[in-house]
Amino acid sequence: MDALPNSNTEYGTKQYWDERYAKESPDQTFDWFKTYRELLPIFEQEVPDRTGRVLMLGAGNATLSEDMYRDGYRNLVNIDFSEVVIANMRQRCADLTGMTWEVMDIRNLQFDEAHFDLVVDKGTMDALMCEQGDVWDPSPELVANVKAEVDEALRVLRPGGKFIYITFGQPHFRKPHLIRDKCTLEVRTIGDAFHYYVYIVTKQA
C-alpha cells in the first residue's frame, strides 16, 4: 500500500498525514479499529444522552463522527493537526449542520475547561506511541506527549464526563498513561480472535 509509511514512527508526524491526505479524495475514508456499529453498545451504555457536546480527537477521515451524527449526536467537534484532512472533511460534511472541523493539536486544546460531555480517541494516541525503542520502557518524549493529550482531554471534560479511548493496546501498556486522580478507569474488551480495548476514563464530580 502506498499509504504505508517507511517506518511506524512516521504515524506520529504531521508531514506523513498531510502527504497521505493530499493524495486522497474528500470522499475517501479510513477507519482505525472498530466501526461505530461495533462500538454502539458501549456508547449507548456510557453516553445514552445524545444531546451532549462531543469532541473527536484526531478525527482524520474516519466515518465515526458521521455515523454518530446520523444516530442522533448533533453537537460534534472534530479536530486534527492536518489542515489537509480538515479541509477535506469540511467539504464532505458540509450538509451536517452543527458538526464542526478544526485544525488543532490534541496536546494543546483551544477549548475552555469543562466544555465537553464526551471526548473520543479512536487510535490517535497510538500514533503518538509509534516510536523505535523498548515498548516496556517508553522514552520521556513519548510519555510527555501522551500525558499532554490525556491531561488536555480531562481538562476540557465536565465533571461526570467521559474520555473514551479505543485501541488494540493492551492494558499493561496503556493503563499507566490513563490513571489520574479524581477519575475512574474501566477497561472493556471487544472482539473474538483479535482483541481491541476500550478504556473509559470518567471524571469525577
pLDDT digits (tens, 9 = 90+) for 104-163: 999 999 999 999 999 999 999 998 887 656 778 889 999 999 999 999 999 999 999 999
166 in any annotated domain: yes
Please say whether the beta carbons of 187 and 141 come within 8 A.
no
1 in any annotated domain: no
3 in any annotated domain: no
53 in any annotated domain: yes
Task: At 86, give phi and psi (nearest 5°).
Answer: -65, -40
pLDDT higher than threshold 50 for residue 1: no
Beta strands in 35-156 (DSSP E): 54-57, 76-80, 100-103, 116-122
For residue 79, the domain's CATH number is 3.40.50.150
pLDDT higher than threshold 70 for residue 38: yes
Segments forming the whole domain that contains residue 132: 8-203
Helix ranges (H only) for 55-139 are 64-70, 83-92, 124-128
Mean pLDDT of the chain: 89
Mean pLDDT in residue range 74-81: 96
pTM for the whole structure: 0.89
C-alpha span between 165 and 123 (Å, rounded): 7
- pLDDT of the residue at 200: 98
What count of residues does the chain have? 205
63 in any annotated domain: yes
Our count of domains for the chain comes to: 1
124 in any annotated domain: yes
101 in any annotated domain: yes
DSSP state of 90: H
131 in any annotated domain: yes
Burial 181-192 (b: 16+ CB within 10 A, else e): eebeeeebeeee
pLDDT higher than threshold 60 for residue 5: no
